[in-house]
């Protein structure tokens, strides 16, 4: 068979379009996109006024990678919270000096970048370690991570089980998965094997529940606290140990400093509703399956969705405050992450440099604050970009033309 030059040109051009689309999809699935001003080659914020990260030794590797689904584990009683309104407290605790857990640095550490110098001395830390963020996601957890990590603290955010340099890069395990594994095994310490021997700041311990597929039907289910799999629930859920297992968090570290990260409730509900991964449904499904809410409002009922999100936020805030009031071994530091003085609040409470504060992840759904175009190629979210759409349209039109389809008929 003899092919004309024009025929071969069409094949080459078509293959080129298809290759570009496949390239974009492969880049998309290499890992989570985190175009928030981070250069993962240098592990630092790309901003002329901010200091690069200067992490300490990551400590021991305690990844617990065995795939234990916990199907035969003993059931564990879920701790349903009692929502008790309370007065706002800050830095409420026994007033004891910072305890030495063997993680302190013996010398002063400094980070330099331009005209800003971050200086911290862990030996002068005012409050006990470890520090655990007890607020919900979408309330500045990335910024809190950055505040401590920039000043030399071994910090965790979402991932497990080693100290991270970037709040959105870690793993391969998630903190939520590690903690759920401890629940299934009925371990006393919910943080066991999750960096509990070297992590100093736990900035986000919640995360998605593991997805499982039914061996016969293929139906999607989600792992529960007792190790069983729920195949009949409303859908994906978020594991919230700072709420439904607050007693176990306390038992693991009875003298830990807790941070209650807050923001205006309306801005929080808006942020959750605008989250690209349908975060509001994960909240609703979790609360429904935990027996806290009797039903889930329709997705298009904006008022009902807002009301339920508001209730979830306010009751969790009040529950944490009341828990610390009943367990004064904890020191509670409250910070409104939208307040322009948030850095000073944290700096004064912990005795650290307030200039290390930076609200770095205002709304991830927008994919970011492009403070700089200095990104590596694999950080560019091609599949969800206009370029991906253009390539798809061009390839479709080209294939129709190549196959002789008359587009005017459509």
Percentage of the chain exceeding pLDDT 90: 53
Read off the pLDDT of each residue in 96-101 and give the average, rounded to a whole number.
Answer: 34
> How crowded is residue 278: how many other Cβ atoms within 10 Å of its Cβ?
15
**CA-to-CA separations, 12 to 1, 7, 406, in angstroms, rounded:** 18, 9, 22
Structure tokens given for 223: 């792992």
What ranges do the domains of the chain cover? 1-33+381-410, 49-373
- Listed in sequence order, the residues at least 6 apart from 405 whose beta carbon sits closer than 8 Å to its beta carbon are none
Give the residue, 173 or 11, on which the prediction is more confident.
Answer: 173
64 confidence band (pLDDT: 50, 70, 90): very low
Banded model confidence at residue 228, pLDDT cuts 50, 70, 90: very high
pLDDT at 58 (0 to 100): 35
Distance CA 236, CA 220 (A): 9
Model confidence at 405, in pLDDT bands (50, 70, 90)?
low
Which tokens is 271 given? 């942020």
User: What is the arithmetic mean of pLDDT over 390-397?
Assistant: 72
Is the confidence at residue 35, as pLDDT, over 90?
no
- Average pLDDT of the residues in 164-169: 91
Greater pLDDT, 378 or 274: 274
């Amino acid at each position: 068979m003899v092919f004309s030059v024009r025929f071969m040109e069409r094949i080459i051009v078509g293959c080129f379009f298809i290759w570009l689309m496949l390239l974009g999809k492969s880049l998309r699935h290499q890992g989570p996109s985190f175009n928030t001003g981070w250069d993962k080659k240098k592990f630092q914020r790309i901003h002329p006024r901010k200091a690069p990260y200067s992490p300490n030794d990551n400590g021991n590797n305690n990844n617990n990678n065995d795939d234990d689904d916990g199907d035969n584990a003993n059931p564990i009683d879920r701790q349903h919270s009692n929502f008790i309104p309370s007065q706002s407290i800050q830095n409420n605790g026994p007033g004891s000096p910072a305890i030495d857990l063997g993680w302190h640095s013996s010398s002063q550490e400094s980070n330099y970048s331009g005209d800003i110098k971050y200086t911290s001395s862990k030996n002068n830390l005012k409050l006990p370690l470890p520090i655990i963020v007890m607020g919900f996601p979408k309330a500045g957890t990335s910024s809190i991570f950055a505040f401590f990590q920039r000043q030399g603290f071994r910090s965790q955010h979402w991932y497990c089980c080693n100290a991270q340099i970037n709040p959105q890069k870690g793993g391969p395990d998630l903190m939520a998965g590690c903690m759920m594994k401890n629940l299934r095994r009925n371990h006393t310490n919910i943080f066991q094997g999750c960096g509990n021997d070297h992590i100093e700041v736990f900035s986000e311990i919640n995360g998605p529940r593991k997805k499982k597929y039914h061996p016969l039907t293929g139906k999607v289910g989600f792992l529960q606290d007792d190790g069983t799999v729920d195949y009949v629930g409303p859908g994906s859920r978020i594991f919230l140990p700072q709420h439904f297992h607050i007693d176990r968090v306390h038992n693991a570290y009875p003298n830990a400093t807790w941070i209650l990260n807050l923001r205006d409730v309306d801005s929080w509900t808006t942020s959750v509703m605008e989250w690209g991964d349908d975060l509001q449904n994960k909240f609703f499904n979790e609360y429904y399956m935990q027996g806290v809410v009797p039903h889930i409002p329709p997705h298009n009922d904006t008022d009902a969705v807002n009301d339920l999100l508001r209730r979830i936020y306010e009751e969790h805030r009040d529950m944490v405050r009341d828990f610390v009031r009943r367990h004064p071994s904890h020191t509670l530091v409250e910070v409104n992450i939208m307040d322009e003085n948030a850095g000073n609040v944290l700096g004064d409470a912990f005795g650290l440099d307030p200039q290390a504060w930076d609200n770095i992840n205002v709304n991830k759904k927008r994919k970011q604050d492009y403070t700089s175009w200095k990104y590596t190629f694999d950080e560019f979210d091609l599949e969800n970009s206009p370029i991906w759409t253009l390539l798809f349209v061009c390839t479709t039109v080209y294939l129709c033309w190549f196959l002789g389809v008359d587009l005017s008929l459509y």
